[in-house]
Amino acid sequence: MLPQHLSAALLELDASHSRRTRLTLESPQGAQIRVDGRDYLAFASNDYLGLANHPALIEAAREGLARWGLGGGASHLVAGHFGAHQQAEDELAAFVGTPAALLFGSGYAANLAVITSLLGRDDAVFADRLNHASLNDACLLSRAAFKRFRHNDLDHLESLLKSTPARSRLIAVDAVYSMDGDEAPLVELLRLAERYDAWLYLDDAHGFGVFGEGRGSMAEQGIAGERLIYMATLGKAAGVAGAFVAGSAELIDWLVNKARTYIFTTAQPPALAEAVRASLSLIAGEPWRRERLTQHIELLRHTLSGVKYPLQASRSPIQPLMIGGNEQVMTLSARLRAEGLWVPAIRPPTVPEGSARLRISLSAAHEAGQVQRLADAIIAMS
């Protein structure tokens, strides 16, 4: 698109109620946020355990800054791999039950790293249609045959596995889907991966810290094996930043040598790795956070069971209220905001046409009364 076309294209986004704008927080992340001088009760972030502003993580980062300094200074392979990074990787691997793990700057970078380093032109990747955009981009950039199967449709996936010749195969799924909140059938997917000699790659951005006593969806569904590759982000339930990939020692060694988004980027500040270590201690040692989260989910779903807008089936902190049209969802989100409630409106292309929704994100940082307040407001507007 040329510069002279941008204004008209932006106006088209306005006309379809699709233009996005950023809000600027004037407070730390939490159940209560301040935006443009006004306080809101927020149901928008992925801070599922309420750790993003936790004093223990802040102190761990502060001590890490004092010990290691601020910048990583170099890529991990040149001179940027600090002791804090190695300790965090060892502890993350032990936490999720794999031989090794590798830190990345983001989940996006991790997804690109894994899929593009394992697959090429003679290979095939099989991806759920509701996968996150970063997984789709990784599949495209790998240059492998890109086969998308209907959401959680194991028969469709198997038919594609049967009919697609390939040197190497990889099945890529979100363990918990970011806009619907439902889960992938990991046990059955692993069986298919074993039957058709494929990797199974799990993006557990929204399950880590929440399911499996905090150890994630892989632990929750009781699966393991050398063909499993596990990725989780650290900026959601863990409350920090970045991501990690966990798997066999050979897999991690391969990524260190071949993953371009790992090799050709400066290492994250080592102080963040210290905060990750502190977060793991809280995730493991404070199960009440997950218990409170479960109570909030049950309260919201029970209270909203009779409204005209249906909630998607989800036992995760992601509770999508299905509205339908872009204008309708933007209006409802604005009405809630006027009442001091911040709930984001999610529209295409993030979700399919006609399925615009309010994406309600619950957190252990919320109080039951705050969840009830949101539910009552939605009922009054329905």
Which residues touch 66 (CB under 8 Å, ≥6 apart)? none
Q: In what order do the strands lie in the sheet with 318-324?
A: 318-324, 356-361, 345-346
Q: For residues 246 and 89, what is the distance between their CA atoms, to the nearest angstrom?
A: 9
- Predicted confidence pLDDT, tens digits, the chain (382 residues): 888 899 999 999 999 888 888 889 999 999 999 999 999 999 999 999 999 999 999 999 999 999 999 999 999 999 999 999 999 999 999 999 999 999 999 999 999 999 999 999 999 999 999 999 999 999 999 999 999 999 999 999 999 999 999 999 999 999 999 999 999 999 999 999 999 999 999 999 999 999 999 999 999 999 999 999 999 999 999 999 999 999 999 999 999 999 999 999 999 999 999 999 999 999 999 999 999 999 999 999 999 998 999 999 999 999 999 999 999 999 999 999 999 999 999 999 889 999 999 999 999 999 999 999 999 999 999 8
Q: How many CB atoms lie within 10 A of CB 180?
A: 22
Q: For residues 163 and 176, what is the distance between their CA atoms, to the nearest angstrom?
A: 27
To the query of whether residue 236 is one of the catalytic residues in this protein, the response is yes
Which pLDDT does position 18 carry in this prediction? 82
Which pLDDT does position 115 carry in this prediction? 98
Instruction: Give the Å distances, CA to CA, from 73 to 82, 140, 265.
Output: 10, 31, 10
Cβ atoms of 312 and 319 closer than 8 Å:
yes
Choice among 178, 217, 314, 333 that is catalytic: 178
Choice among 206, 217, 316, 363 that is catalytic: 206
To the query of whether residue 85 is one of the catalytic residues in this protein, the response is no
DSSP 318-378: EEEEEEESHHHHHHHHHHHHHTTEE--EE-TTSS-TT-EEEEEE--TTS-HHHHHHHHHHH
Which pLDDT does position 17 carry in this prediction? 81
Q: For residues 178 and 48, what is the distance between their CA atoms, to the nearest angstrom?
A: 13
Terminal C-alpha separation, the chain: 41
Phi, psi of 50 (to 5 degrees): 70, 35
Q: At what angle do helices 133-142 and 107-118 cross, to 10 degrees?
A: 30
Choice among 76, 132, 147, 236 that is catalytic: 236
Q: For residues 330 and 347, what is the distance between their CA atoms, to the nearest angstrom?
A: 9
Q: For residues 351 and 10, what is the distance between their CA atoms, to the nearest angstrom?
A: 20
Q: What is the pTM of this model?
A: 0.95
To the query of whether residue 206 is one of the catalytic residues in this protein, the response is yes
The SS3 assignment for 19 reads coil
